[in-house]
Structure formats: C-alpha cells, structure tokens
Amino acid sequence: MYERGKAYWAISDSSWIDTLGNLAVESAGIMILRKLDEGVKPTTVALQLLGNLITKNVVTLEFEELLDLIVHKTMKTKIGADEVSRGYVAIRVGEYVVGCAYYRKGELISQLPKSFSSIHPRASELL
Amino acid sequence: MRHFIFEENLFEKYRNIIPDFEAFLERITKPLGNYIRVNGLRIGKEKLVSLLTSRGLKCRSSFLADHFIEIPEGVQPGILLEYHLGLFHPQTLTSAIPVMALNVKENDLVLDMCAAPGGKTSHLAELMKNTGLIVANDKNVSRLISLRANLKRLGVLNTAVTMNRGEQYPLETSFPRILLDVPCSSEGRYLIGENGKVLYRGRIGKGLPQVQKQLMHRALKLLRPGGILVYSTCTYNPEENESVIQYALEKFEVKLEEINLDFPHELGLTEWEGRKYDDSIRKCWRIYPHRTNSVGFFVAKLVKKG
C-alpha cells in the first residue's frame, strides 16, 4: 500500500515493482482509501474486494432495496444503532458487498457510484 | 446466392484469401456473438452462470468455454449488478487469443503497449492471478480514463499505467513479455446492413501500416532476448498483418513460434498482391467470423533470439 495525494493505493507485491522507478507512471494498482476531513473512507472497489472479510458495520439489503437506494439516494432502515455505528457502512446484497452508504439515525445515504444507476430494476424482463 | 452490392464489395479483394468466401459475406450480415469473459479474479464460471441465470439471462457455452459465456444479442451488461461488481467483462471472444498466445505465468513482467480500454490487460491480470507486474500503456488521457475504470472495476491489482506514444516508449526498461495489439482498420468488426452499407467502420488511412511498423520496431527494441511478443490486429488486410511481421523478421533477430491453442483459424499468408512473405509466416493465425461467430483477428507470436 502507498500514499499518493489524498488517497491510499494498493498494488500487488512483486519483485518487479522497482521496474516502475524507470517509468513515468500515471497510476499503479487501485485506489482503496480516500482521505477525508473526518478520516478515511474506503473506495467501492476496496469494499467489494474485501467482501466477507468485513464483519462490522455491514448492512444487508435485498436487491429491490438496493435499487431503491440507488434511485432515491437515501432510504429509511430498521437497522438500529446497536447493530451499526453512525458513519460509513458496507452494503451487502446476497453474498456480495457492493459498496458503501452513510448511516445516520435510521437512515442510509447512498455513497454508491453513479454508474450503478444503469442497473435496471427489471433486468430480467429485458433479458 | 445473395447478390451483394456496394460496400460489400469492400471485401472482394480478399476473395482468394478468405476461405468459403460466400459464407463469410453471409455471416457478416448478421450480428456477431455477444460474449462476456468470466473475471476469474473474482468468481468462477459455474457460479457466474448460476447468478446470471437466476436473473433470467440465458447463458450458452462457446469456444474457450472455461473463460467465456455467450449471452443473448443486444443485452447491455451495464444493466446487471454483476457487471458493476466486476464479475465479468464484455469482450469479443477472439480478442482472448492474443492474450492466451502470450502464455503469461504468475509473477511475470509484461508490457501491454496499446492497452486501452483494458479488456486484454485485465485478462492478462487474471491469467497471472493478480501477481507479477503488468505495465499497461496508451497514448492519451482519454484512453487512459477507460483503461483505469475497467482495471478498477475488475479488481486488477498488479497493473501500473503509463502514458506514452508506443513508438516513443522509453527504452530504459526491457520486458520479457510484450502484447502489441495495434490500432488498425478494424475490418474484422465490419458488419453489412440490409442496404449493403458497412455498419461499422474503423480507422481508415494508408498510414496505418507505417504506424504499425513503428510500433513493432519499438516493441522489439523493448523485448528482452528470449522474450515473447504477440502482435495482433482485428483486420484482414495483409498490409497491416503479414507485411508488418515480414518487416520484423527482416529488421530484427526474431522468429515466429506456433500458437498452440485449440481454436478455429487459418494460416498466415505467404504471398499478397505479388509480394512474397517468409514461409514461417504460415505460423501466424487468421481468424474469421464465419468460423468463430466472433470478430476477425490476426495473431502472430514472435520470439527474440538470444
């Protein structure tokens, strides 16, 4: 892992890493954490890669609830403060962690990528 | 027999080199197969098929069945959550051949010289199991945006991105494996519409073979002795294919190797429009849509002596 600007990145460890010293590299590996005023926030892909290794502050949604969160950007949840802490939570659908939301007083605020808006609610009808 | 008109005659010059030419012309009047590559870094094929089937998507086996699934024509992958989770990548079937021909292993060092948008790069990363190092290069910012987005989505951790014109790639570092999938006229992607017009047209320009030779020249200077370079295009034009390989054989101490894969193909040409090519160019592969249900391709595997 290495720090670059306002983020942390991860790249596979390799004996070839020193090779990069001879090249003008635009980026190496994947960004996994962003530095914010209030701390660090994992990126969507970092959460997806960590998946079931994440055991705390995880909220499981049904697929339809995920679509609701994508469309409306926020949703009420019955998850209580004893189950998750205020702050960033991982969103799980089925067995996959899909991304991140912000939990505050019974509400989830989407932090999912804008690209998720192309997920069609009735994909099976289109297929 | 169909009466072909107008731009279908675009391919008439290839009548004697494309086998079963009428079947070829017929095939390119219909959409080619719609394929996705299973991202083995994140999921196995059987599990992905199960997930997609549960969403109502009909999945069919194809050539390269361990890695690819054929899905119905017209399905846009972006409508599926599984796409956004990086579990698969929409990719033409035949574009896997250059990657597989390079025969990468875990912990290798690889240069992908014209990498955007990253389908082949991510396939390399999968075969390397996210180990070693891939240097993925392309020439401008807009191309790097799509490259980096795909690498991120697919969870590729072993790749660094550089931005150089391939012909001017810095020579300080040499590579034991190089993938050189060059810009080309993309004839392999052409489809003919009902009115006889070409529905897709790639770059046109007599300057392409010159650019391709410049890229080949630089790539072979970057290749280590004993290293492997795979050259590929998605066009049928021998000026962009066999002529470039002939140039490499004449200018550098390289030889062609057999591509040992189980996939329908024809042999490279040893002659075109009066010009003769080295006999070893028969080891190159010509891949056609009427044989594979996918985009036409040319693939050559070169080894640097020493």
Phi, psi (rounded to 5 degrees) for B80: -100, 135
Q: Which of A8, A14, A67 to mutate to test the interface with B (most CBs of B within 10 A)?
A: A14
Domain-ending residue, one of A27, A42, A57 = A42
Q: Which residues of B are catalytic?
A: 234
CA end-to-end span of chain A, whole Å?
Answer: 41
Contact A31, A37 (CB under 8 A): no
Same structural domain, A54 and A79: yes
| Higher per-residue pLDDT: B216 or A118 | B216
With 80 as the cut, is the pLDDT of residue A81 above it?
A: no
Q: What is the DSSP string of B47-105?
A: HHHHHHHHTT---B--SSTTTEEEE-TT--GGGSHHHHTTSEEE--GGGHHHHHHH---
Q: Which of B36, B158, B159, B177 to mutate to test the interface with A (most CBs of A within 10 A)?
A: B158
Q: Is A48's Cβ below 8 Å from some Cβ in B?
A: yes
Residue of chain A with shortest Cα separation from B140: A26
Ranges of H-type helices in chain A: 44-50, 63-72, 123-126
Tokens of B6: 């107008």
Domain-ending residue, one of B24, B56, B91 = B91
Same structural domain, A86 and A37: no
Partner-chain contact B72 A124, CB within 8 Å: no
Partner-chain contact A20 B148, CB within 8 Å: no
Same structural domain, B25 and B42: no
∠ Cα B55 B61 B62 (to 5°): 135
The pLDDT of residue A125 is: 60
Partner-chain contact B135 A19, CB within 8 Å: yes
Question: Is residue B277 domain-resident?
Answer: yes
∠ Cα B212 B214 B215 (to 5°): 65
Contact B290, B26 (CB under 8 A): yes
Round to whole Å and give the CA distance between B218 and B166.
Answer: 7
- How many A-B residue pairs are in contact by the CB < 8 A criterion? 107
Of A14, A96, A123, the CB nearest to B79: A123
Partner-chain contact B161 A10, CB within 8 Å: no
The pLDDT of residue B143 is: 92
The pTM assigned to this predicted structure is 0.94
Same structural domain, A125 and A103: yes
Question: What residue numbers bound the domain in which A27 lies?
Answer: 1-42
Q: Quick one: average pLDDT of A35-40?
A: 87
- CATH code: domain of residue B289: 3.40.50.150
Neighbour tally for A21: CB within 10 Å: 9
Neighbour tally for B170: CB within 10 Å: 12
The domain tally of chain B equals: 2
Q: From the CA of B264, how many Å to the nearest CA of chain A?
A: 29
Candidates B126, B125, B127, B146; CA nearest to B135 is: B125
Same structural domain, A100 and A48: yes
**Which stretches of chain B score pLDDT less than 50?**
1-6
Candidates A97, A66, A11, A63; CA nearest to B85 is: A97
Partner-chain contact B160 A45, CB within 8 Å: no
Q: Examine the predicted complex and report whether its ipTM is higher than 0.85.
A: yes
Same structural domain, A37 and A77: no
- CATH code: domain of residue B67: 3.30.70.1170
- CATH code: domain of residue A104: 2.30.130.60
The pLDDT of residue B193 is: 80
Same structural domain, A68 and A98: yes
Same structural domain, A54 and A113: yes
Q: Is B157's Cβ below 8 Å from some Cβ in A?
A: yes
Same structural domain, A12 and A56: no
Tokens of A4: 């670059």
Same structural domain, B102 and B227: yes
Same structural domain, A7 and A55: no
The pLDDT of residue B4 is: 44
Same structural domain, B167 and B111: yes
Give pLDDT tens digits for B140-182.
Answer: 899 999 999 999 999 999 999 999 999 999 999 999 999 999 9
Same structural domain, B102 and B213: yes
Same structural domain, B171 and B81: no
- Kind plus residue range of the DSSP H or E element containing B221: helix B208-222
Question: Is residue B1 domain-resident?
Answer: no
Same structural domain, B166 and B112: yes
Same structural domain, A67 and A84: yes
Q: From the CA of A1, how many Å to the nearest CA of chain B?
A: 11
* CB interface of A with B, residues 88-117, below 8 Å: 93, 96, 98, 113, 115-116
Same structural domain, B151 and B19: yes
Question: Which 3 state secondary structure label does DSSP give B204?
Answer: coil
Q: Is A49's Cβ below 8 Å from some Cβ in B?
A: yes
The domain tally of chain A equals: 2
Partner-chain contact B157 A66, CB within 8 Å: no
Question: What residue numbers bound the domain in which B65 lies?
Answer: 33-91
